Amino acid sequence: MNPLLVALDVDTAPEALALADTLRGVAGGFKIGSRLFTAAGPSVVTRLVEMGDRVFLDLKFHDIPSTVAGAVEAATRLGVWMVNVHASGGLDMMRAARAASVETAAKTGAAAAPLVIAVTVLTSLEQDALARLGVAEDVEAHVDRLARLASEAGLDGVVASPQEIHRIRRWADDRFLVVTPGIRAGEHRDDQARTSGAAQALRAGASYLVVGRPVIRAVDPRAAAVRLIEEMHEGRG
């Protein structure tokens, strides 16, 4: 399955839908994050789903279990393919998210429940930032701890930076997804700290790569996506 998920990190639904039209058939799916969802609302999700696109709703739910369950229920009713929560919300919260996904899909007659994955440590955080939050262990160990908790909760996988994939793959087989942001293609890393190239991330064991700026800010987004797919094939070879 095509591992490239393009982040539609733009301000309006028309921009997002135009990008999706340009990239459809090259990208394996589209990520909608808080920027676009806040600006355009759930209708942009519905439109992409109606077009047959796989939509990863990246809103990183983090609240008490019942509230997160309600949010995942709403996301499931939108027809999303994947949704995420914060692993730091705890075991009960993640279990509630998984249950809401499965139960809502069954009630609505969906062919499958959305994948539910957990964010471990944001790719913008490095060791010093984590220490200031009161986390004594190093980033890699903390990501691993949260990934194991997500697995215990029955989630489908985690979001982790390229630098922690190998640690997770020591104990998790390919059925446990590792969705990897922080993929760069020769440009400045901006606010991402723990990054790598696409081929490197796939060789380490990433399941899906989330790529935004290197594609959507390119002069020719479709050509940029094609180049990334070629790099991914190289990584898997």
3-class secondary structure, 210: strand
**Amino acid letter, residue 220:** D
Q: Print burial letters for 35-52: b (CB count within 10 Å at least 16), e (below 16).
A: ebbeebeeebbebbeeee
Per-residue pLDDT, 185: 59
Mean pLDDT of the chain: 92
User: How many domains in the chain?
Assistant: 1
- Catalytic residue annotation: 60
User: Is residue 184 scored above 70 in pLDDT?
Assistant: no
Flag the least confident range among 16-25, 43-52, 84-93, 133-142.
133-142
| Residue 110 vs residue 187, higher pLDDT | 110
pLDDT in tens, 137-159: 999 999 999 999 999 999 999 99
pLDDT in tens, 5-37: 999 999 999 999 999 999 999 999 999 999 999
Q: Which residues pair with 159 in a beta bridge?
A: 119, 179
pTM: 0.93
Supply the CATH number for residue 36's domain: 3.20.20.70
Q: How many CB atoms lie under 10 A from the CB of residue 78?
A: 17
User: Is residue 186 scored above 60 in pLDDT?
Assistant: no
Structural domain boundaries, residue 59? 4-236
Q: How confident is the model at residue 232 (pLDDT cuts 50, 70, 90)?
A: confident
Q: How confident is the model at residue 175 (pLDDT cuts 50, 70, 90)?
A: very high
Antiparallel, parallel or unpaired: β 208-211 and 4-7? parallel
